[in-house]
């Protein structure tokens, strides 16, 4: 933030505040950070900021007539999860949205490129809503750089959504299973991921449901998310029919023979197998 105050920051022209959190709620922490900025502008000391930080951490609230009040419970995490627009994604990619849904279901690596960081962040924050049943925004890495330290940390993740503003990332197929070029409205499946990502009748049904729901003017974005979640639940219900209790009795695992006996179309059987793998349901 640029300062215009002569006292007590007479020798300071700019400062920045970095606030880290374990949950995904950009609006919540943007509001809190603005209050911290105003406190630093006024006092020129981190002490007051730390007092407010501790108050929010322990009580969920900080109050100040001059700098504004902040109440944690005013920022429902579900609103943060639904702040993006599935409809906008479908408007841009149509039936190809099912590629993104499939990649997320299978916990694949998705890289998103656009030269403008705002576009990358808006798009990537919405994607986890396609797999609402997980409610897992920890897979989101919305602003990455092509430097060794960041990429090393990223590659330790099983599946992720990573945003880049450097087109050079398109030449790094080791970083992605699915590459989304937002600027050109193109989705590319990496060669090594094509077998797991084979599309069939089931995917067509899912894609049609997503498109029809998103194009319904009577439905809100949250209703579109709910429609996709219901279809996803149906898929898991079907997968459960071909599972059995593991030998140690701790979890359910896929009965591959039972799945094969059902004689699904090859693409459907392949998808259910890879979904079981993503959910750690394969026998070791």
Whether residues 142 and 237 fall in one domain:
no
Per-residue pLDDT of the chain (284 residues; tens, 9 = 90+): 555 544 567 788 888 989 888 888 888 888 888 888 888 888 888 888 888 889 888 998 887 766 678 888 888 777 877 778 999 999 999 999 999 999 999 999 999 999 999 999 999 999 999 999 999 999 999 999 999 999 999 999 989 999 999 999 999 999 999 999 999 999 999 999 999 999 999 999 999 999 999 999 999 999 999 999 999 999 999 999 999 887 777 788 999 999 999 999 999 999 999 999 999 998 76
Structural domain range at position 239: 201-279
Per-residue model confidence as pLDDT tens digits over 30-62: 888 888 888 888 888 888 888 888 988 899 888
pLDDT value for 23: 81
Distance between CA atoms of residues 277 and 271, nearest Å: 10
Query: Which of 75, 102, 135 is where one domain is finished?
Result: 75
Are 188 and 230 within one domain?
no
Q: Residues 200, 272: contact at Cβ < 8 Å?
A: no
CA separation for the pair 56, 63 (Å, rounded): 10
Residues 148, 115 share a domain: yes
> Do 31 and 59 have their domain in common?
yes
Instruction: Determine the Cα angle at 106 with ends 20 and 172, to 5°.
Output: 70
What CATH number has the domain bearing residue 88?
Answer: 3.40.50.11500
* The pLDDT value given to residue 64: 72
The reply to whether 90 and 191 lie within a common domain is yes
284 located within any domain: no
pTM summary value? 0.86
Phi/psi of residue 212, each to 5°?
-60, -40
Boundary of a domain, candidates 152, 167, 195: 195
Report the domain count for the chain: 3
pLDDT attached to residue 22: 84
Last residue of a domain, which of 20, 51, 75? 75
């Amino acid at each position: 933030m640029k300062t215009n105050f002569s006292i007590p920051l007479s020798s300071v022209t700019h400062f920045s505040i970095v606030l880290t959190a374990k949950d995904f709620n950009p609006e919540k922490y943007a509001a809190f950070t603005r209050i911290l900025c105003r406190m630093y502008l006024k006092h020129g000391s981190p002490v007051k900021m730390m007092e407010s930080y501790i108050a929010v951490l322990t009580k969920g609230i900080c109050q100040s007539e001059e700098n504004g009040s902040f109440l944690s419970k005013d920022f429902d995490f579900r609103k943060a999860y639904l702040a993006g627009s599935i409809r906008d994604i479908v408007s841009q990619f149509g039936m190809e949205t099912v590629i993104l849904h499939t990649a997320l279901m299978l916990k694949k690596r998705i890289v998103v490129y656009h030269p403008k960081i705002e576009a990358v962040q808006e798009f990537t924050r919405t994607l986890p809503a396609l797999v609402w049943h997980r409610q897992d925004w920890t897979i989101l890495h919305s602003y990455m750089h092509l430097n060794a330290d960041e990429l090393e940390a990223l590659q330790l993740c099983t599946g992720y959504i990573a945003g880049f503003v450097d087109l050079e990332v398109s030449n790094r197929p080791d970083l992605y299973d699915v590459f989304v070029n937002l600027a050109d409205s193109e989705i590319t499946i990496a060669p090594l991921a094509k077998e797991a990502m084979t599309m069939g009748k089931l995917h067509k049904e899912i894609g049609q449901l997503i498109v029809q729901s998103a194009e319904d003017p009577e439905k809100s974005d949250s209703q579109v998310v709910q429609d996709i979640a219901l279809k996803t639940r149906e898929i898991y219900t079907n997968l459960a029919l071909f599972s059995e209790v593991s030998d140690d009795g701790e979890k359910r695992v896929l009965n591959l023979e039972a799945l094969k006996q059902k004689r699904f179309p090859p693409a459907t059987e392949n998808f259910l197998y890879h979904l079981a793998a993503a959910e750690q349901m394969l026998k070791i």
